[in-house]
A = this chain, B = another copy of it.
C-alpha cells in the first residue's frame, strides 16, 4: 500500500494509502450490485456508484480498521455496506427532495422514475444487510441497525421540521445526525469493532465520525448561503427556496425582532417568496452574525473530532483523519 505524496488533500492521501483496499471495495460493490434477474438494478446504481463520489464513508471504515491494526477481510465488506447504505439513502432522498442535481448530474429519479429509486434503494439496503451478516459480528449488526433507525427517524423529523419556525438547534442536530453523522459515526465505529479495538478506542471512533459528520453538514448548510456553484455542485440559496431551516436560519430566527420574524414566517412557513427575499435573508443573517456563528459551530465540531482521535494509536492514517477534520471546515474557515 504505497503512500503517494502527490497531493496535500487529506482525502487524496487517504485514497492513496487505502488504494488496494478501495479496489477490493469497488470490486465487491460491483459484484453485489449485480442482479441476475433484474438488469435495471445495476443500470440505476451504476449511475450513482460510478458518479465519482468521494467514497468518503467507506474510506473512513477502512481507515478506522487499519489504524486499529486490522488484518482480516471484513473491513472491505463493511466499507461496501456503508457505501450501499449511503447510496440507498441518496436514492430514497431523490424521491423525496425533487432536487434537480446531485453530484453535478441529473438525479436517478429524473433519469429513471420514482418506482425504480424506491425499489433499487430497497435492494441496496438488503444487499448491505447481507454483507454485514457475512462478517458474523452481532455487534456490527447492532451498530448498523441503530444507525439505520437514526437515519430514517432523522429524515422523517426533517419533513416536519423543514418549514416550522419552532425548529431549534436541538432538533437541527437530530436531523443532521440522521442525515449525515449517524452513518459517519457507524462507519468509523464498525471499523474499530471489526479490528477488536479497545472499548474506549471504539467509542472515540464513534465520536470522531459523529463530530466530523456534523461539521460536514453544517459546512454544507453554510455554503448554501455563501459558496459558489462550481465548488459545491448546487445553487446558492437552494435551501432557502426549499424553505429548509438550516443552522444559519435557525440562529437568525432566534435573534429576530417582530418584523424580522414576520419575514421568516412568510418566506419559510408560508412559502411566499418574492424577488429580493434571498438577499434580505442574507442581510438579516449578516446583521445578527449568524453565518459567523454557524462557522464557529462547524469549527467546534471539527475540533471535537480531532480531540477524539487522541485516544487512538499514533498512525499515518490517524494523521490523515485529523487533517480531514481540518479540511472539512477549511472551505469556511
Contact = CB atoms under 8 A, between A and B. Distances in A.
Interface stretch (A137-145, A207-215, A278-286): A137-145
Given A95-B95, A152-B123, A145 B129 contact: yes
Contact of A41 (B118, B153, B174): B153
A142 B159 CA distance: 33
A179 to B, nearest CB: 12
If over half of A's interface residues share one DSSP class (helix, strand or loop), that class is named, otherwise mixed; here it is: helix
Interface in A90-105: 92, 95-96
B116 A159 contact: yes
Interface stretch (A32-40, A56-64, A239-247, A315-323): A32-40
Contacts of A148: 122, 125-126, 129
A172 B243 CA distance: 45
A195 interface: no
Nearest to A131: B145
20 contacts: A35-B153, A37-B154, A37-B171, A40-B160, A92-B118, A95-B114, A95-B118, A96-B114, A116-B156, A118-B118, A122-B148, A123-B149, A123-B152, A123-B153, A125-B152, A126-B145, A130-B145, A133-B142, A133-B145, A136-B138
Given A38-B157, A40-B160, A130-B149, 20 more contacts: A37-B153, A40-B159, A92-B122, A95-B118, A116-B159, A118-B118, A119-B155, A119-B156, A122-B151, A122-B155, A123-B153, A125-B125, A126-B151, A127-B149, A129-B141, A129-B145, A129-B149, A130-B142, A133-B145, A141-B141
